[in-house]
Every structure is written in C-alpha cells, then in structure tokens.
Amino acid sequence: MESMSFVLFGATGDLAKRKIYPALYNLYLDQKMPSPFSIIGVGRRDWSDEEFQASVRKSVQTFSRRAEMEEMDEFVQAFRYCAVDVTDPEAFKPLQSLVAQREAELQIAENRMFYLSVAPEFFDVISSSIKTSGLGTTKGWKRLIIEKPFGHDLKSAQQLNEKLGAAFAEEEIYRIDHYLGKPMVQNLEALEFANPVFQALWNNQYIANVQITAGETVGVEERAGYYDQAGAIRDMVQNHLLQMLMMTAMHVPKRISANDIRAQKRQVMEAVRPLQKEEVAQHVVRGQYAAGEISDKPAVDYRGEPGVRPDSMTDTFIAARVWIDDPFWKGVPFYIRTGKRMKEKSTRIVIEFKNPLEGLYHHHQDKPAPNLLIISVHPNEGIALQVNSKNPSNSGKIEPVTVDFSAGTAGVPEAYELLLFDALRGDSTYFAHWKEVELSWKWVEPILAAFRENLVPLHFYPAGSYGPDAAEKLLTADGFQWWLDQ
C-alpha cells in the first residue's frame, strides 16, 4: 500500500476513541497499514503529542477487539497532534506545516487522507479550509472520509454535497455508512452473485417478500439533543435501512467493481416507488416507545427521557412497505423496520419464498411453512435456510428445519476496520455514493413532511416489544407476518 498521511479531525472525540484508533491498531497488527504512515490528530484541546499518544494507547487498550499490545509503542510513534480551531481558516497553516514536515521526515509521498469525525456543522468549513490552506493541494492523491449525518433533509444534503464538491471530487469522497462495513451486509454481494442457486431465485417469480429489521434495545441514551430532531427516519431509515435494501435488491453487475456495484444499487433506489405525502400513512408506521420493560428492568417512556420534549412527536420506531418498480421486484413488498427500545438487539434480513406447492399437502393439518433465507447481520452473523423436512420421530410430519451457517464472531474484523482498510486502498464499494444518498433523501422527504403535518398517526409501543400493532397489521394486510419475532 502506498505511504500516506492520515489527518483525523475530531481526534479527541468519542468515535475516534471507540472505533477509529482500535480499528487502525488492528489493521496495524495485520500489516494492513501503509508503511510508513503518519497520523495527525486534530482537535480543539491543547494537547501535546505525548498526551495524544497516551490517549490513543488507552483507547486501544479499552476498546480493541484484540488484546496483543506488544506493538503498541511502535504504533503510537506515528501519531502527532495539532490543536486547530476549525472555524478559523488561518489556523490550518500550522497543520499544513506539520503534515508537510512529517512527510519530509518519513519520506512519505504526498498522499493525504482526511477524516471528518466531527459534528456535522463543521463538515463544510473544514473541507473548504483544506482547500484554501493548500493542505489539499498534493502531488499525490487526496481523499475525504466523512461521517454521518449527511444532511438533515434533501436540501441540506445537497448544499453540503456542493460545498464538499468545491474541494473534493466525488471519487475522492468516502461517505461512511457503518452498516456497509458490517461483514454480513458486505456478504450480501457474494450471497447474491457467487451463488447461482440464489441468483436464480432472486426475483419476483420466487420471492414473496423481504423483511429488513434493525431493532435495538437501547433508548435515546444521552443523545436527545440530536435524536429528538432526527427521529428513526433520519437516524436509521434514510441511511442504514435503505442501504441494506439496496444491497439486498441489487441485480448482477457486469463486473464486480466499486463502480458497477454502486451503479446497481443506484438503479434499485431509482426504481423505489416514490410516496406521495398523502399516502404515507398507508405504507409507513410511526411509533414512539412508551414505558415498559427491557430484560425484566423497567424502562421509562421516550417523553420521560432527559432532554426530550414532553410532548415530542419524534419517531423512535418506523416500519414501512417499500415497492421497487422494476421487472425483477414488481409485486414483491420489501418491509423495513427499525426501533429503539425493542425487545431484542437484532439486525436481520429475512427473505420469504413463495410456495406454489402449498396445495399438494392439502390433506395435512398444517400447511408447510414457507422457505426462508435468513441473513443475520447482528449480533449473530450467519446465514440460515429454512426448509421443510419430514420428522420421522413425529409420524413423518412435515416440519421446518434450519440449515444453518454461523460465521461466529471470533476474529471477525469490525465494520470500521473493513471500511478504513478499503478507504486506505482506495476502494469505495462500501461507501455511500452521493446519488444513493440523494435518492434516499428524496424518498424520505414526503415522509418527513407527512410527519411534520401530522398526517400519520403516532403509535405508542411498550418498551421491550416489537413495536406497535400497526407494524404487524402492515404485513397482515398483505397476508404476511414478521418472521422470527419471539
């Protein structure tokens, strides 16, 4: 891998500590870091290099998935710190000198990776100062990794993209959606394209419906300031759920390359049927958690959480029916669902197959269960196929059994490791292209408007449940049910 400088804005922040440093260290242990490399941490605090290195060491010790610390001394030597008030373009000059000085010392080519792990209001000022300070004028390449949220609605996302576009080309921008870093989400590609058996079935002739769930047991935690403005629709649906939908529904590309895969995803999103504001209530369920119990412990209602407005109408749960109007998926509903304070932390994709043979077993009391392909994304990573089989110890009754592959969790790299490694080597397959982001916002816009104008009822659901009954009815209305709810 080419040598490079890695400039991290938000170096003293939570994400850096929990995810980025441990990921970099694990890549380092696997010899997947460029050599030599220089990491410059940028933050507001007035830290020395030693303080910064000590903080990196501590976060790796606390959060790394691996315990080996022998290479830590060598690892932290690559880190330098620079305090910058990012709202002041002049303050970028010392940063520019430090980056250049380290490049000279370590004989690093002028390849520069910038990582924005800061509050979104700083995204545009930082990117424009990278340009004006000369930091972004390199003889080698430059790239920008940017965290979420990418905008608050369609308009703000477009404005942000325009501002970034003044300093970086689309191919240089790596928009993080950490769901795309999850190994089983990445594995959807192989499942669909490396298995002729599934490829043959991946369409409306064989598939009855697709169910994508991302349930969480946590509530709003300390993030009410952000979350009460965002809601599940912006926090999870616009990005993570629609990304999983695109990954599941994409069609075989001509080649397996970042461009081709992203083009296929884009095509899916282009074919997603737009909702009119007035019809949102028919297809989207909006929920908010009421008091309840999570693992036998009482949990307060959302409106009772610190920092939440007592009359808040914010959605902590969304279920939606999505139609993809292309020849492959016409007539196949995709159901998506996400919520805080649900019964279990589980991210999964369930594909329910049609059953044209159902009638054959009409003399049986129970009709055979449908075949299901279950892709478990979290917490257990695996693929399972539910098939029907005779049970000899139950008078030959036909019962569903599960053919199960579990990836296990030991040794599996974390999302941030996979994503960072890809960005370091310039592979943007699992980063969100601007068009995907824009199309997702376009689809979400009428939902935001319908919520704002209260055209959609707000259903309360007890903490510790699978959401409001209305989410169940969304499927029963079509003759289906959510699978695997316990």
Decide whether 184 or 207 has the Cβ nearer to ligand BG6. Answer: 184
Minimum CB–partner distance for residue 347 and ligand BG6 (Å):
6
Residue 422 found at the interface with ligand BG6 (CB under 6 A): no
In the bound state with ligand BG6, the residue whose beta carbon lies nearer, of 216 and 438, is 216
Task: Find where tokens 């910064």 sit.
Answer: 52
- The residues with which 337 forms a beta bridge, in sequence order, are 213, 319
Annotation says 251 is catalytic: no
The correct pick among 103, 216, 422, 436 for binding ligand BG6 (CB under 6 A) is 216
Q: What ranges in 202-317 are assigned the alpha helix state H?
A: 224-232, 242-249, 258-271, 280-283
Burial class (CB in 10 A: 0-12, 13-18, 19+), 338: buried
Distance, in Å, from the CA atom of 95 to the CA atom of 105, rounded to the nearest integer, reads 15
Q: Is 11 labeled as ligand-binding? A: yes
**Tokens for 278?**
């007035």
d(CA 209, CA 329) in angstroms, rounded, equals 9
Closer Cβ to ligand BG6, 238 or 428, answer by number = 238
Is residue 382 marked as binding? no
For the segment 329-348, give every residue that binds ligand BG6 (CB under 6 A): 347
Collapsed DSSP state (helix, strand, coil) of residue 279: helix
Do 102 and 37 touch, CB atoms closer than 8 A?
Answer: no
Q: Closest separation between CB of residue 239 and ligand BG6, Å? A: 7
Residue with CB nearest ligand BG6?
235
- Using the minimum distance from each CB to ligand BG6, give the nearer residue, 216 or 352: 216
Residue 469 known to bind ligand: no
Strand order in the sheet with 173-175: 79-83, 37-43, 4-9, 112-116, 142-146, 173-175
* CB of 129 or CB of 312, closer to ligand BG6: 312
Is the Cβ of residue 40 or residue 308 nearer to ligand BG6 in the bound state?
308
Residue 343 annotated in ligand binding: no
Q: How far is the CB of 236 from ligand BG6 (least distance, A)?
A: 6
Rounded least distance, CB 272 to ligand BG6, Å: 21
Among 172, 235, 305, 417, binds ligand BG6 (CB under 6 A): 235
Query: What residues between 363 and 402 interact with ligand BG6 by CB under 6 A?
Result: 378
Rounded to a whole number of angstroms, the minimum distance from the CB of residue 102 to ligand BG6 is: 32
For the bound state, the minimum distance from the C-beta of residue 88 to ligand BG6, rounded and expressed in Å, comes to: 29
**Alpha-helix runs per DSSP H in 153-241:** 154-167, 183-193, 196-201, 224-232
> Site residues for ligand BG6, window 240-269 (CB under 6 A)?
none
Q: Is 254 annotated as a binding residue?
A: no
Q: Which of 240, 283, 378, 459 is catalytic?
A: 240
Residue 464 annotated in ligand binding = no
* Residue 25 neighbours by CB under 8 Å, 6+ apart: 60, 64, 66, 72, 75
Of 39 and 294, CB closest to ligand BG6:
294
**Applying CB under 6 A, what is the total number of residues that bind ligand BG6?**
4
Residues listed for the chain: 486
Task: Consult the annotation and say whether 15 binds a ligand.
Answer: yes
**Token pair of 94, please?**
């010392």
Per-residue DSSP letters for 19-44? IIHHHHHHHHHTT-S-SSEEEEEEES
Residue 182 labeled ligand binder: yes
Minimal CA–CA distance to 146: which of 117, 112, 180, 182?
A: 117
Q: In what order do the strands lie in the sheet with 458-462?
A: 397-406, 382-391, 372-378, 346-353, 207-215, 334-339, 317-322, 284-290, 458-462
**How many angstroms from the chain centroid is the CA of residue 42?**
25
Catalytic residue set:
240
Known binding-site residue numbers for NADP(+): 10-17, 44, 85-86, 148
Binding residues for ligand BG6, rule: CB under 6 A, are 216, 235, 347, 378
Known binding-site residue numbers for substrate: 178, 182, 216, 235, 340, 345
Known binding-site residue numbers: 10-17, 44, 85-86, 148, 178, 182, 216, 235, 340, 345
